[in-house]
């Protein structure tokens, strides 16, 4: 069986739908999970969907993704702006990683303008709301397909 996409969510994302709806909307994390699973199924992929408020747990999951995942979608929440540990864990992952943010951090407080994730992610999707997760699934489907169909001499470039 094909490896799943790991969809990893950081601190406070379990409060989506009720926490700052003027920024994050009324969509819950359960709603996002259902939509992400549906989109992944449409493109022939499966999803392992997780959320933790604990940085070390996220690091453990990223390390697990090294061998267990076809790709990673990561919404690290506030750890995006603070976690060298997540940055270092992502550097050790040899699968495509898409960083996702529901809001656009560049339109928010200055401390949110720096991401420790972006420089080690394959791509970044932000500011398009919960649909960013579905867009990340589509991006990973394309990246995974390109990687598995690339001639042997082109792999690893």
Domains of the chain (ranges; CATH) run 5-149 (3.40.50.9100)
Q: Does the pLDDT of residue 13 top 60, yes or no?
A: yes
pLDDT reported for residue 138: 98
- Selecting among 54, 79, 87, 101, the annotated active-site residue is 101
pLDDT reported for residue 113: 67
88/59 Cα distance (integer angstroms): 9
Torsion of CA 143, 147, 149, 152, to 10 degrees: 160
pLDDT, average across residues 20-45: 90
pLDDT tens digits, residue range 59-105?
A: 999 999 999 999 999 999 999 999 999 999 999 999 999 999 998 87
- Selecting among 24, 79, 116, 133, the annotated active-site residue is 24
Q: Does the pLDDT of residue 157 top 50, yes or no?
A: no
* Residue 24 annotated as catalytic: yes
pLDDT reported for residue 51: 98
DSSP state of 102: S
pLDDT tens digits, residue range 125-134?
A: 999 999 999 9
16/30 Cα distance (integer angstroms): 9
Reported as a pLDDT band with limits 50, 70 and 90, residue 150 is low
Question: What global pTM score does this model have?
Answer: 0.89
Reported as a pLDDT band with limits 50, 70 and 90, residue 154 is very low
Tally Cβ neighbours within 10 Å of residue 156.
8
* Residue 101 annotated as catalytic: yes
Spell out the SS3 assignment of 14-76.
HHCCCCCHHHHCCCCHHHHHHHHHHHHHHCCCCEEEEECCCHHHHHHHHHHHHHHCCEEEEEC
pLDDT reported for residue 111: 66
151/156 Cα distance (integer angstroms): 10
Reported as a pLDDT band with limits 50, 70 and 90, residue 151 is low
Mean pLDDT score of the chain: 90
Residues forming a β-bridge with 101 = 126
7/49 Cα distance (integer angstroms): 5
């Amino acid at each position: 069986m094909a490896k799943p996409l790991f969809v990893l969510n950081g601190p406070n994302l379990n409060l989506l739908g009720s926490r700052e709806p003027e920024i994050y909307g009324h969509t819950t994390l359960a709603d996002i999970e259902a939509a992400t699973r549906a989109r992944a199924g449409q493109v022939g992929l499966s999803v392992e969907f997780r959320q933790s408020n604990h940085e070390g747990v996220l690091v453990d999951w990223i390390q697990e993704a090294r061998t267990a995942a076809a790709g990673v979608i990561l919404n690290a929440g506030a750890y995006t702006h603070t976690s060298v540990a997540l940055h270092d864990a992502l550097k050790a992952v040899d699968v495509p990683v898409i960083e996702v943010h529901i809001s656009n951090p560049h339109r928010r407080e200055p401390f949110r303008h720096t991401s420790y994730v972006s420089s080690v992610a394959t791509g970044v999707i932000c500011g398009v709301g919960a649909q960013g997760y579905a867009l990340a699934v589509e991006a990973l489907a394309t990246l995974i397909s390109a990687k598995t169909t690339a001639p042997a001499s082109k792999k690893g470039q």
